[in-house]
């Protein structure tokens, strides 16, 4: 359980930081994706999916940390 708490205590704040600064993280992720994909619409869709995954992981991590701490 300590390993899980250590893992979550590192990644949950990271995900929350990426969500909080969405106006920086979405364009950066989109620029990285545009390097591999030629169409802008597909790249933007993937960037938004990745950002949504950050939000989901942050929420799930917070819930797990709350449950494990009692």
Q: Which domain holds residue 60?
A: 2-69
Mean pLDDT of 5-31: 79
Return d(Cα 57, Cα 17) in angstroms, integer: 12
Helices 40-69 and 22-34: angle between axes, nearest 10 degrees:
130
Q: In the predicted model, what is the mean pLDDT of the chain?
A: 79
What percent of the chain lies above the pLDDT cut of 90? 0
Q: What is the mean pLDDT of residues 48-70?
A: 81
pTM for the predicted model, two decimal places? 0.61
pLDDT given for residue 1 in this prediction = 67
User: What percent of the chain stands above pLDDT 70?
Assistant: 96
Q: Look at the chain and report how many structural domains it folds into.
A: 1
- What is the average per-residue pLDDT within 18-36? 78
Contact in structure between 63 and 7 (CB atoms under 8 Å): no
């Amino acid at each position: 359980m300590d390993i899980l708490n250590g893992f979550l205590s590192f990644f949950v704040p990271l995900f929350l930081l990426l969500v909080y600064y969405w106006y920086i993280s979405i364009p950066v992720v989109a620029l990285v994706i545009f390097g591999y994909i030629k169409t802008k619409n597909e790249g933007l869709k993937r960037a938004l999916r990745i950002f949504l995954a950050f939000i989901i992981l942050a929420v799930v991590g917070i819930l797990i940390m709350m449950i494990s701490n009692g």
